[in-house]
Structures are given as structure tokens and as C-alpha cells.
Amino acid sequence: AQKITQTQPGMFVQEKEAVTLDCTYDTSDQSYGLFWYKQPSSGEMIFLIYQGSYDEQNATEGRYSLNFQKARKSANLVISASQLGDSAMYFCAMREMPAVYNQGGKLIFGQGTELSVKP
Amino acid sequence: NAGVTQTPKFRVLKTGQSMTLLCAQDMNHEYMYWYRQDPGMGLRLIHYSVGEGTTAKGEVPDGYNVSRLKKQNFLLGLESAAPSQTSVYFCASSNRADSTEAFFGQGTRLTVV
């Protein structure tokens, strides 16, 4: 069965420093996708970055990068040069990538990490 | 530019009452999902659908039913609401062919008293 684990309920980082949010996953599928979302205090879910299981290079989107270690089944989010606006909940997620139409597609989330950026 | 729209945004129910939450997407997405979010629990998958006319159970399906009669709509029903179903409910959708992002609705805050 699929499982996503985020072991850091809360994290603090100093403004302008880098921070790594941990995510490990478990799946028996060979093909899957990994996602990170940000949820500010206003409540909306904001997509940050995506990594496919067959992507050889780590995904990057601006100040966000995904440290993908397939053998260790980890997909950590790295935020460089933290800003006060980065204070939020961060969720890691995984989805099966079905080879057959109308199969798979389940998208599950971890428990989240609350990041606080200190000025 | 609507994306994913959830109706209603807020609702208060009495124990035992029934209601339906509507999720509508205008992006022609195959996949649709319903989640509940509770403090410290992250987003837990209730039910999902991989296409019109199909539904599947997620992690916490008990007490909920769903239907996807039209591709653009995914309905979540509570037949007999319980206080344990007090939560924030999120709907999401994504494209099967290009599935690098799931788009979320704004959430529905449901309180069962």
C-alpha cells in the first residue's frame, strides 16, 4: 500500500537561510509522481513542485528544489533563501501513475510540516 | 478561469442530517478527489474517481458516499452526519495525460453539532 511520511511536525528557519523538509514514501509501483504543496494560514493549497519516478534529474522551481533519492524512497523539499512569506504548512504527496486507463490514480498526502520563518 | 469550485464554502449541520458537497471543475480532468483535513492529520483521501461513472474508496471512506455522473462534477454525500465528520473538506482534480499537478478547490468548512 502507498504511504507518505513527514516526520517533522514543525520546523524553524532563519530568514534568508535554506531549509529542508523531509518526506519518505512507500509504494510497490514502479511508476509514480511526487508532489509538494504549500498551505498558508489562509487555507488554500498551492502547488510547488513535481517529480516523476522516472525523472533522472531533481526537479527545481525557482527557490524550490526536490531532492529525489529513489533507492531511499525519499523526496525532500529544499527551500533556498527563506522568506517570511514561506511560513506555512507544507505537504508531500504521491500518486500512482496508471499504465492502464481507469486504474490507479490514487493521490495521498503526508501529515504535513509547519514551517516558521524567523526574521 | 474558474478551475475547481466547491459548494458550499461553509455549513453547519445537526447530527443525523444529510447533505451533499459539490465539486465542479472546468478543465476536462479525468481524476477527481475528495479529502478531509483535520489538525495534525494532514489531508486524508475519502473517495476518488478516475473517470466519469467510476468511483473508488480512499483512506477514510466510512460515512461518505460519492457519485460522478458527469465528468465535470464529483459529489460527496453525508447520509447521516456525525460530529466526527466536522472537518475542512477539499476537492481536487487532475489530468490523466499530463498529471504533474493536482488543482484544488478552496475548501468547505463543515461543522456538525
Write down the pLDDT at residue B32.
95
Q: Is A93 on the interface with B (CB under 8 A)?
A: yes
User: Which residues in chain B come in under a pLDDT of 70?
Assistant: 1, 97-98
pLDDT in tens, A65-108: 999 999 999 999 999 999 999 999 999 999 987 666 556 788 99
In this prediction, residues A20-24 reach a mean pLDDT of 98
What would the pLDDT profile of B68-81 be if each residue is shown by its tens digit?
Answer: 999 999 999 999 99
How far is A16 from chain B, CA to nearest CA, in Å? 27
Separation of alpha carbons A27 and A95, rounded Å: 10
**Residue type at position A23:** C
Cα–Cα dist A71/A73, whole Å = 5
Find the closest chain B residue to A10 by CA distance: B40
Q: How many CB atoms lie within 10 A of CB A10?
A: 10
B58, B94, B106: residue with CB nearest A44: B106
Instruction: Say whether A76 sits in a helix, a strand or coil.
Output: strand
- Kindly state the cell numbers that stand for A63: 527557490
Sign of CA dihedral A47, B42, B82, B65: positive
Q: Does the beta carbon of B94 lie under 8 angstroms from any beta carbon of chain A?
A: yes
Show residues of chain B in contact with A43, CB under 8 Å: 88, 106-107
